[in-house]
Amino acid sequence: MASAWLFFRVILILGQPVFFWLRPFRLWVNLE
């Protein structure tokens, strides 16, 4: 679980553009 949070932090540091695909993906998971 901690590794997942760390990975999330790394994504934030890398840049916001990742959220362009990460956001729809989370929405898709919620639909599931």
**pLDDT more than 70, % of the chain:** 88
Q: What pLDDT digit, counting tens, does each position of 9-21 carry?
A: 887 888 767 677 7
Whole-structure pTM value = 0.35
Q: Domain segments of the chain: what residues?
A: 2-31
pLDDT at residue 8, as a whole number = 85
The amino acid that residue 20 corresponds to is F
Question: Average pLDDT of the chain?
Answer: 80
How far is the CA of 17 from the CAs of 11, 13, 26, 32, in angstroms?
Answer: 9, 11, 15, 24
